Amino acid sequence: RFSISLPRAHKVEKLQTAVSDTLPAECSLRVVLVDDDPRITASLSEVLVEWGVDVYAYNRLDEAQAELAALSVMTPDLLISDGQLADGHTANEVFQRLGALYATAIPTLLLSGMSNADAVIQADATLLKPVSAEALKRQILALCPPADG
C-alpha cells in the first residue's frame, strides 16, 4: 500500500499583485494564449481577464488555428505562446501559423522555462517562467501601447 501526505492548501480567492487591477482604460486588447499546460492557461487567462483583456486560450495549436480561422472578424493584438508544446509544436510554429491568419503583423510574446529559448524561438519579446504579473503587464504594455486618445 502506498500513500502520500500533503499539507492542506488554502484556496486563493483573488490574485494579489503589486500592479493595478486593470490595464489603462484606452487599452482594449484581444490576446491569443497557447500553452499546453491547462493550469498555466487558466491562471494566465484569469489574470488577463481581471485586467480587462479579451482572452482566447488554447492548449493545442491545431485547436487554436481551427477556431481562430473561423473567427475571421477578430484580429488579436498579441499572440502569447509557451516555447514547446506537448504535441511537438514550438512557439515558432504557433506564431507562424496563427500569424498567417491575419493581414497585419501581430506582436508575439514567448513564455518559456528554457533560459536560451530566445536563441531558438523568434518572438518580439521573451519572459522566463515563472512569470510575475508585474513583468507580464510591463511586457504587454511595451508590445501593445495604449492608443493616443
DSSP for 8-47, written as a single string: PP---SS---SS-SS--TT---EEEEE-S-HHHHHHHHHH
CA angle 46, 51, 60 (to 5 degrees): 40
Side-by-side strand order, sheet with 30-34: 54-58, 30-34, 78-82, 108-112, 125-128
Residue 2's pLDDT band, with cuts at 50, 70 and 90, is: low
H/E stretch holding 54 reads: strand 54-58
pLDDT surpasses 70 at 5:
no
Does the pLDDT value for residue 50 go beyond 50? yes
